[in-house]
Structure 1
Amino acid sequence: SGDVALGSGSVTAVAVGTPSAVINGTTYAFQGATPTSTVSIGAPGAERTLTNLAAGRISALSTDAVNGSQLFATNQAVDAIGAAVNNINVGGGIKYFHANSTLADSTASGTDSVAIGPASVASGTNSLAAGNGS
């Protein structure tokens, strides 16, 4: 079947494809989703690490393996985004405007419009709506 077992005691199993994954409600499709065989470097209960692996290509079409340094870089980027979102959530960088309401959000649907306040609607071009339900 083309399977390869590397190292003493290594065994292979049926190649199982992973066509996609759902993350936070979004489905992501993967390349190489229908493998014809597998490579094993260990066995159940006798797993091995893969060391000294060069960085693989990262793209929508890549089927290369990635290494720890690539995952570390991704984690650093995610951490930075998390810090920025947290800063926004606690009001960082926002001056002179704060809201405290459980009512419906404002809607600014007109071109170049501004809506401020719960349930306010600015639907006309260059319009301004301010206040509760305005």
Structure 2
Amino acid sequence: MNGELVVWEGGRLVFARLQQCLARRRGAGAAAAARTWPAHLVVFDVVRLAGADLTPWHYARRRAALETLFADTPLTAPFTLCPSTTDSATARDWLTWTSGGLEELCFKPLRARNTMMLGVPGWS
């Protein structure tokens, strides 16, 4: 799977807390950081499934497989399926979520076979 670790604090994404969790790799400090600021995995792509390489598939097909995976095996926190849209108005609305800590949107061409993304800053 392809995704990003995030930490929520006070209803917003806080990258600094994730850095603090990652800085404490072992022992009591790591356990305390994980309890205080639990990390969540936001999944936005699947590149291998049941041992099969999905990178030759178009992104639209991989996204459908990912959504099926989440539907067939309900995953809850700390696993989250990243929202996705092909509607430009919805994407523009997401760009206003900076108060929630959103820093960028990622774009993947539906017909692309690679896993490359284009990031667009979430503020104007």
The TM tier, using the shorter chain, reads under 0.3
Decide which structure has greater helix share. Answer: 2
Structure 1 or 2, whichever has the larger Rg, is 1
Decide which structure has greater strand share. Answer: 2
Using structure 1 for the length normalisation, give the TM-score: 0.22
Higher relative CO (Cα under 8 Å, sequence separation at least 6) belongs to 2
